[in-house]
Amino acid sequence: MGKVKGFMEFRRVVPSDREPLERIGDWQEFHLEMPEDELQKQGARCMDCGTPYCHTGMLLSGMASGCPIHNLIPEWNDYIYKGFWREAFYRLMKTNNFPEFTGRVCPAPCEGSCVLGIVEPPVTIKNIECSIIEHAFAEGWVKPKTVAFHTGKRVAVVGSGPAGLSCADQLNKAGHSVTVFERDDRIGGLMMYGIPNMKLDKKLVLDRRIDIMKAEGVTFMPSTEVGVDYPADKLLEEFDAVVLCTGSTKPRDLTVEGRAFRGVHFAMDFLRAGTKALLDGTEPAITAKGKNVVVIGGGDTGTDCVATSLRQGCRNVIQLEIMPKPPLERQEDNPWPEWPKVYKVDYGQEEAAAVQGEDPRRYCMMTKKFLDGSTGVLEAVEVSQVEWVVDEGRYIPRPVSGTEEIIPAELVLLAMGFIGPEENLLQQLQVAQDQRGNIEADECTCKTSKQGIFAAGDARRGQSLVVWAINEGRAAARECDRYLMGTTCLP
């Protein structure tokens, strides 16, 4: 795969980004394209490693190792090195319905388990993936395909996030009549309103793919919440099968004094308001403009809140993380091919540092209470440092006495993850839930406790990655097709 000694001859090079101070002035994507000759060199770095862990897609220590959808990475890296772009595109589409999504927003567990990464920086797999699909769009290779035959079976997919879209795409290819229900006014779920435009352009990238699916015969019903606008029993009467891809949308709350003050919001409410206002050409319902902003929680959502706050013109932004600062290199208890738990500077932190002079993150910080000055409107956050100690065999954070401080804040964004799917529809459908509140469905068959109803994505497995959602959507489509037809040809 690749050039025999390519990994020895060429160093890892990633695409350049627009300068932080330039890109915070708009909402456009910030990655720049890489010249084709450089992409070929990067493909050449893919070594003939014998056992390519990059596409194993397994869980190690609770984290993804390798690509969950088992992309044929060494094969299309080799094609790119040799200049065979169309062949690379064909191999990529065998496993991934939407590489233009994963090529932008996936954290690339494939690179974390790259064999070359043991001794050198890993292959730039994510960038090559995105370059392949964008090249294919530019060349006109990505076109709507007519379904060869129709089975006469009707399937409802509830939710239009990555799991719902991949499930619908696969079921449509199998010849079923597919209707996708979405409660928001636009199709895309998490990718539409949960991921800011500068990471995933809605019109140029997301709508482009949805238009193709429409042309191929998938029916979309936005602004239709099943169980509210569309009766759940009607769903069961009118469709031969149902796939629930509603996501894990209940945010984790922070129950401290002052939580009810005006100015404390869930991160997803803030991000949704920002993207909707951008697309509608209006002012956002929640804005960071002119405010001191405190983001509580790390991860991609926290980073997106930092970047969005800067673009909205915040006065200052601080990001609080209760966990310690990660090490610069892998530790002994985090060996390859596990996901590397190391310090990194993402795009939002890079932008904040360019504006404010330093990384906005503060580690080992606990929020004690919100302050309002007796007005009911947020004015500040009281925090303290914590130390992690062992208590009955597990690590817990313990406040450090004397480290308390007050941080001015007119806007606090809670970005601490999600705890499961909303229950209204599940209760109406009488679908069982597991101990964590997720939809109880078999990992292999995706079947729920109710015959003819399947589940996939974050609603089944809990909060996870877009690439895992695509994996689950494809699996649910395969098992739904098997249920309807007695057999299946879906991968």
pLDDT tens digits for range 292-347: 999 999 899 999 999 999 999 999 999 999 999 999 999 999 999 999 999 999 99
Using alpha carbons, select from 23, 17, 134, 126 the residue that is nearest to residue 73: 126
pLDDT at 41 over 70: yes
Contact call for residues 390 and 413 (beta carbons, < 8 A):
no
Query: Which helix or strand (DSSP H or E) is residue 155 part of?
Result: strand 154-158
CA distance 422 to 427: 10
Q: Do domains 6-139 and 154-249+419-485 have the same CATH topology?
A: no
Percent of the chain at pLDDT exceeding 90: 96
Whole-number pLDDT of residue 3 = 85
Which pair of tokens denotes residue 360? 């906005």
Backbone angles phi, psi at 275, to 5 degrees: -70, -40
CA distance 310 to 317: 8
Whole-number pLDDT of residue 373 = 83
Q: pLDDT confidence of 47, banded at 50, 70, 90?
A: confident
Provide the CATH number for the domain formed by 264-414 in this structure: 3.50.50.60
Q: pLDDT confidence of 48, banded at 50, 70, 90?
A: confident
How does strand 219-221 pair with strand 177-181? parallel
Output the CA–CA distances (angstroms, integers) from residue 193 to 24, 131, 190, 247, in the order listed. Answer: 19, 24, 6, 13
- Enumerate residues 6+ apart whose C-beta is below 8 A from 312: 274, 284, 287, 288, 289
Contact call for residues 244 and 227 (beta carbons, < 8 A):
no
Domain boundaries, the chain: 6-139, 154-249+419-485, 264-414
Q: For residue 60, which amino acid is it?
A: L
pTM: 0.95
pLDDT at 1 over 70: no
Kindly tell me the number of DSSP H helices and DSSP E strands found in the chain. 17, 16
Whole-number pLDDT of residue 393 = 85
- Whether domain 6-139 has CATH 1.10.1060.10: yes
Q: pLDDT confidence of 392, banded at 50, 70, 90?
A: confident
Using alpha carbons, select from 298, 290, 284 the residue that is nearest to residue 413: 298
Please give the CATH topology (third level) of the domain spanning 154-249+419-485. FAD/NAD(P)-binding domain (3.50.50)
